[in-house]
Amino acid sequence: MNDNWKFSDLPYTSPDVEALQARYDALTQRAKDAQGPEELLEVVRQRDALQQEVALCQSIAFIRAFHDVTDEFYQRELQETMPRLETLDTQSLSMAIAESPYAAAVDEAFGPQLRRLLTLDQRLHTGGKELQARISQLTAQYQQLVASTKYQVQGETLSGGQLRFALTSTDRERRKAAYDAQQKTAVENGPVMEKLLRELVHARNQLARENGFDSFADYGDLSMQRLGYGRAELDEFCRQVQKYITPLYLQMQEQQRQRLGVETLLPYDRALVFPEGNAVPVATEELPKAARRMYHALSPEAGHFFDEMVRHDLLDVAGSPNKISGMGFCDMLGAPCGMPFIFANCDGTGSDVTVYTHELGHGLQGYLSYRSQPLADYVGLSPDLAEVHSKTMELLTLPYARDFFGPHAPQFLTEHRYDFIKELCAFCSIHTFETWLYEHPDASLSQWAEEFDRTEKVFGRAQNNEPWQQQVLAGCDLFTNTAIYMFPRYVVSYALSIVCAQQLKAAYDADPVDGWARYHALCASGGSKLYAETLAAAGLELPYAPGVVERLARSHPIPSSARRSALYPKEESSCKL
């Protein structure tokens, strides 16, 4: 492969699912026929190469489909070919390795985590192959619908990204018009959105049952590689967030209301933090320049990583109406690339920078793990671990806010503090509602919507939305929540990781050399150990352990407008504004 390759040069061939299955079957037989440890280890290595080959094919198709939702070829690949890959039987190979008489050699060579993951693969994916394919197809349909939706706002036709920008307008009438357009469009798309969600809920529940689980909540938690902890710990974590973080969130909303000078903070006011406007980042084309300065300042290795991302054209962040909106992601491109790819759809708001730095945190982890770990299984990792790297990177880059925001840096720091508190509540709310949703698959749409609204309010969200109750009960808030459709049982990972990230940032503030070394080691370790083991190695407390959330809340009181922020004191001073 040419050393100066670009992502746009990577060839793509639609995968031959039958041929791939034959290769998996051949490896399965070789594992069963292995006459000694070395023969089994060679099967493990060839499985790793095949896994990377399939994953690279999937990555290219997904990235190009998300980059342009009007590209008919890649949309077909996304909705028709990619779901067929879900039908591959990889579990027979997993169990042939895990149950081999020579499996102890696998533990000795790669540690015990690989066999844990192989056993988990068998437990989760042996049954319901067609259901897995159908779920992938339904989520692809949802993605395309959301990406192609347009909104009529004051005589303009807006994309999803442009709508989010309008919701931060300093003109309250424009914000209201944008919110009303979002609600109106959600109602119009309601029948399709409800049908998609019902099919997804029933398919996921059936998938859980066909793999021996009573509930999708437990199946979904295990699919997030939550080994050694699960629903009980996560439910308690959410209760602690509700008890200790929600009051802070409500205080911040009251401060926001006072700053904006409105009698009541209404739903269309939520996105505007400052009356003069939220922090505006530098132009999208300037983001890589600011990021390059920042990463070279953080460490030589981080700087080299960023330069390689640019050299191979792996930063696709410019805004486009044809891109899927409302999300960013990092995808690891396996051999022969060995590099991450970062996708975003910049819309001119402060979230451009947050998404950019967040995904680069994922990217740095993948980059370091790929060069430190012997298997792709360990480069990928559970969401609860993966989001620690990205959330920590958001915090580590705050001292460089001036490079990204110029004179708007202090505003951005306040907004970021607000977002961390808001996200803790939002993600725990979604997780709590999901547990209820999959236990009530046949409830009416209004019952689903009413329970979602009730849960949101328990976590300090959906305040003052009574004038829109008709739309709420019609499912508008549900229909616009991407996580519920696409990422069940995932987003609580962000909340857990926020708590871990604050611990790492405190360590970095106390000793930058030691703090960066701990972060670097955490990234390099990837998914080679259990969640609890990995956090302990980095000196971090489990976020769901008793007292951890309470201590976080007590150490980060909400400052009055006249006081310096208690959450990011060093970042504000470092901006020298």
Give residue 348's pLDDT band: very low, low, confident or very high (50, 70, 90). confident
- Cα distances (Å, whole numbers) of residue 137 to 78, 84, 164, 335, 486: 8, 9, 27, 27, 11
> Is pLDDT at 430 greater than 60 in this prediction?
yes
The residue among 134 and 69 whose pLDDT is bigger is 134
Mean pLDDT of 38-54: 98
**Separation between Cα atoms, residue 332 and residue 503, nearest integer Å:** 26
Average pLDDT of the chain to the nearest whole number: 93
pLDDT band at 560 (very low <50, low <70, confident <90, very high): low
Chain position carrying tokens 């959906």: 462
Distance CA 541, CA 504 (A): 10
Could you tell me the sign of the dihedral formed by the alpha carbons of 503, 507, 510, 515, in that order? negative
Strand duo 315-316 + 156-158: pairing: unpaired
Q: Does residue 575 carry a pLDDT above 50?
A: no
Residue type, 530: L
pLDDT at 221: 96
Q: What is the DSSP letter of 408?
A: G
pLDDT tier at 271 (50, 70, 90 boundaries)? Answer: very high
Inter-residue contact 518 to 539 (CB < 8 Å): yes
Q: Which residues of 346-365 are buried (b: 16+ CB within 10 A; e: fewer)?
A: bbbbbbbbbbbbbbbbbbbb
In the chain, the N- to C-terminal Cα span, in Å, equals: 47
Average pLDDT over residues 56-80: 94
Q: What is the pLDDT of residue 141?
A: 92
3 state SS of 157:
strand
Hunting for tokens 């890589």 — which residue is that?
288
Give the per-residue pLDDT at 328.
87
Banded pLDDT at 567 (limits 50, 70, 90): very low
| Per-residue pLDDT tens digits for 376-414 | 999 999 999 999 999 999 999 999 999 999 999 999 999
Question: Is the Cβ–Cβ distance between 259 and 270 less than 8 Å?
Answer: no
pLDDT of 563 higher than 90: no
Residue 346 has pLDDT above 60, yes or no: yes
Asked if the model's pLDDT at residue 326 lies above 80, the reply is no
What is the per-residue pLDDT across 144-170, written as a single tens digit (0 to 9) for each?
898 889 999 999 999 888 999 999 999
**CA 349 centroid distance within chain:** 19
Q: In terms of pLDDT, which residue wins out, 92 or 347?
A: 92
Mean pLDDT score, 338-353: 89
In our burial notation (b when 16+ CB lie closer than 10 A, e otherwise), range 43-68 reads bbebbbebbbbbbbbbbbbbbbbbbb
Distance, in Å, from the CA atom of 233 to the CA atom of 240, rounded to the nearest integer, reads 11
Does 543 score more than 60 pLDDT? yes
* Residue 315, helix vs strand vs coil: strand
Cβ contact 112:58 at 8 Å: no
DSSP β-bridge partners for residue 330: 342
- The partner residues of 329 in beta bridges, in order of sequence, read 343
Q: Which phi and psi angles does 196 have, rounded to 5°?
A: -60, -45
On the question of pLDDT at 112 being above 60, the answer is yes
DSSP annotation string for 253-304: HHHHHHHHT-SS--GGGTT--STT----PPPGGGHHHHHHHHHHHH-HHHHH
What burial letters (b/e) apply to 199-232, b meaning 16+ CB within 10 Å? ebbebbbbbbbbbebeebbbbbbbbbbbbebebe
Give this prediction's pTM: 0.93
Query: What confidence score (pLDDT) does residue 67 get?
Result: 93
Task: From residue 402, give the alpha-carbon distance in Å to each of 64, 123, 406, 560, 573.
Answer: 33, 49, 4, 23, 11
β-sheet with 329-333: strand ranges across:
315-316, 339-343, 329-333
Q: Tell me how far apart the alpha carbons of residues 134 and 338 are, in angstroms, rounded to a whole number.
A: 30
The pLDDT of residue 2 is above 80: yes
Distance between CA atoms of residues 503 and 498, nearest Å: 9
Task: Indicate the residue type of 167.
Answer: L
Residue 561: band (very low, low, confident or very high) from pLDDT cuts 50, 70, 90: low
Is residue 236 predicted with pLDDT exceeding 60?
yes
Structure tokens at 389: 């790297």
Most confident range (mean pLDDT) of 345-359, 401-415, 433-447 is 433-447
326 vs 303: CA distance, rounded Å: 28
CB 30, CB 44: distance < 8 Å: no
Cβ neighbour number for residue 190 with a 10 Å cutoff: 17
Main-chain phi, psi angles of 397, to 5 degrees: -95, -5
Residue 569 pLDDT: 32
Of 101-115, 271-285, 472-486, 532-546, the poorest mean pLDDT is in 271-285
* Pick from 420, 410, 412, 411: nearest CA to 387: 420
- Residues 308, 339 contacting (CB under 8 angstroms): yes
pLDDT tens by residue, 487-501: 999 999 999 999 999
